[in-house]
Amino acid sequence: MIKIGCSTLFFWEYPIEEIADIFQDLGLRCMEFFPENPDFWKKRDSLDYVNSLKDVLSKFCLTVHAPYIELNPSSINPYIQKASIMETLWAIELANLYGAKYLTIHPGKRPTSRAPTEDEYIKFYEYLDISLKYAEEKNIILCLENPRKKVNNICYSVEEMKSVLEKFNSKNLKMTLDFAHARENSSNFVDELHEQIKNVHISGVIDNKDHYPLRYSMVDFSEPLKKLVHEYGYKNCINLELNDLNYNKELSNQPFKKRLNRKRWPTLESKTFLKARDEKISEVIKEIEYLEELIGK
């Protein structure tokens, strides 16, 4: 059976306990837990609160996503790089506490729209050295996520991701494949690195923007996804990573992106203004059904 999950960030405005209840009601087997969910983030220094969630989160095949907002492990600003390292070490402890085997981390980048220099790579490798040492102590596998194809991003290409994984050659460093980030290059990632892929993010791409509903994606991920599951035997979590800002007013109180082709977007069946929570549940149900159909049970 396919192990489908969802990112907690899609339900960012709700407490983690309520998100867990929603996921259980939806029959989700997996959860990608983002500690940067606002409710958790505000209480992260309360050991009683953090520990209280162990039973709640133990009901899922859990993966954790290390903090990344405002951070950059390749920053040549020593304060930003140190903060990135410390937050990843904290996330490793959190994953260990909650019984998660895999922790998604982001590669570094150059903060300007220019190709990374040797300095950025030195900082990135330093970040990985420190993080991997602690991950090995805690028996956590770090999964490096492929970013969008941008000139300043590290590891957006199959070749560079493969090079970094081979450079460190560690059983504690693998990969999170984000299909939407990979776009049309998904098949190459699957063919070249299927043995290294231990976690999956998936969402749709519309007008070259990601984290839209998968069922309306302008990029077809069916073949590489089926190949990963059926030919290469991927058995870990496939996590929906949706952004509620990409929906219409009824769901997120935000208008469509201007570049979105409205003709491709169906109106919600209900004419009434439902609560955002109920609409998000309805949306995830549709995505689960589509993903199951896409892969084949």
Position 253 pLDDT exceeds 60:
no
Output the pLDDT for position 1. 74
pTM (2 decimals)? 0.90
Average pLDDT taken over every residue of the chain: 91
Q: Which amino acid is at 33?
A: F
Of 41-45, 163-167, 267-271, minimum mean pLDDT range: 267-271
Output the pLDDT for position 201. 98
Provide, rounded to the nearest whole percent, the portion of the chain with pLDDT above 90: 87
How many separate domains does the chain show?
Answer: 1
> Tens digits of per-residue pLDDT, 169-216?
999 999 999 999 999 999 999 999 999 999 999 999 999 999 999 999
> Tens digits of per-residue pLDDT, 95-152?
999 999 999 999 999 999 999 999 999 999 999 999 999 999 999 999 999 999 999 9
Position 67 pLDDT exceeds 60:
yes
Of 114-118, 240-244, 265-269, minimum mean pLDDT range: 265-269
The residue among 250 and 210 whose pLDDT is bigger is: 210
Q: Which domain holds residue 216?
A: 4-295
159 CB-contact burial (10 Å; exposed 0-12 / middle 13-18 / buried 19+)? exposed
Position 230 pLDDT exceeds 70:
yes
Output the pLDDT for position 296. 84
pLDDT-derived band at 278, boundaries 50, 70, 90: confident
| Mean pLDDT within 260-273 | 33
What CATH number has the domain bearing residue 172? 3.20.20.150
240/168 Cα distance (integer angstroms): 29
